[in-house]
Amino acid sequence: MKLSDGIIPFTEEWAKCRMGKLTASNMHRIFVSGRSKTELIGQGGRTYINQKIGEILTQVMHDDVPETDDIMRGRANEPDAILRYSEITGEKVEDSLLFQYNAIACGTTDGEVLRSDEEIKRIIEAKSPRPHKHIQVLAVDAPIELKDIDPIYWHQPQTNMLITGCEEADFISYNDEIEYYDLQIRIVRMYPDMNWRKDFVERVDFIAGIMDTQLTKILKAPERNLAYRLEKNPEAVKNLQNAIDSLKNLSI
């Protein structure tokens, strides 16, 4: 993908694009299977799916990244993390953008490094964790170990690599509370995991089916009430039916 394919974060267009979609920052939630071997998506993932269906029906975006102290701290420190990254690597990092995968999935990068043809070469994922998490990142030998520290650290970059079509991600952990300057930042180079991608496609396709089935059932609910209303208020029933037909256009 190119930068022109992206959407500027925290704009009206960005909020509209994320409405009802699985986002990279929460993709880890759909990778937890149920207790049964046949249950591909666990209860936490199903709650997340219902949240997304709720957004479609209400057209109100649920903030799936709550503004906790840690999240706000991370956002505040992200520019410094990327500046230090550029100083170390010599790479120019483009601004954060949202990219869409399909009708129900999208992801917002923390930055991008471009190739000479302006295609995205690498995406950046910057975190500013508390010291107890940062020191764990400092000690990792392989990118897969990030998943044990925090599932978001693994699933978010993997998602954004797939969505943007690039073959590299640099995960940055930055904490300026560390006294030793060189230990304030750790850059972990990540590459696409093919097994993860196969699992991702299976789960997203499965979720698309769940959402479509659930929305179809939900939109039939008012129709089941029509018989009770028809005798007393035919005009109200007609208006309700028109509203149902309009909502059906929002279905996947």
pLDDT digits (tens, 9 = 90+) for 225-250: 666 666 566 677 677 677 767 766 65
pLDDT digits (tens, 9 = 90+) for 46-76: 999 999 999 999 988 876 655 566 667 767 8
The phi-psi region of residue 188 (left if phi > 0; otherwise alpha if psi is between -120 and 50; otherwise beta) is beta
Mean pLDDT, the chain, rounded, equals 89
Q: Residue 205 contacts by C-beta under 8 Å, 6 or more apart in sequence?
A: none
Asked whether residue 222 carries a pLDDT value surpassing 80, the answer given is no
> For the chain, what are the domain ranges?
3-203
Asked whether residue 252 carries a pLDDT value surpassing 60, the answer given is no
- pLDDT value, residue 218: 87
CATH of segment(s) 3-203 = 3.90.320.10
pLDDT digits (tens, 9 = 90+) for 7-34: 999 999 999 999 999 999 999 999 999 8
- 3-state secondary structure at position 184: coil
d(CA 202, CA 16): 25
* pLDDT tier at 6, thresholds 50, 70, 90: very high
d(CA 224, CA 118): 54
Amino acid identity at 238: K
- pLDDT value, residue 227: 64
Could you tell me which residues are beta bridge partners of residue 107? 99
Tell me the residue ranges of DSSP E strands in 118-225. 120-127, 169-174, 185-190
